[in-house]
Amino acid sequence: MRLLCPKCESPLRVISTRQFSKEVKQLYADCQTMECGARSVFHVSFSHFTRPPESNYKAFMKDFINNLPDDEKQGLIDSLA
């Protein structure tokens, strides 16, 4: 992840981090431009999944297959063989 200084838009160097929770982390970062030298704080937080975790996917597929009528379930199994 590349962070830019909010003041001068130069690259920042992360100097420390602090984990607030499983989904929120705070980053302290220094501007690498001598003339600026600002230190900034950023929050990185989880938003949402764009692909569910594998365990959720397998559970979803298992429920989906188990809820198929028997003939469709057998047809699916036969098509995989």
22 touches 57 (CB < 8 A) = no
Binding mask 34-63 for Zn ion (x = CB under 5 A): --x-x-------------------------
The per-residue b/e assignment along 15-45, b for 16 or more CB within 10 angstroms, e otherwise, is eeeeeeeeeeeebebbbeeeeeeeebeeeee
Q: Looking at the DSSP assignment, which residues form a beta bridge with residue 44? A: 25
12 binds Zn ion (CB under 5 A): no
Give the residue with the Cβ less far from Zn ion, 25 or 30. 30
Nearer to Zn ion, 32 or 45 (CB): 32
Catalog residues that contact Zn ion under the rule CB under 5 A.
5, 7-8, 10, 31, 33, 36, 38
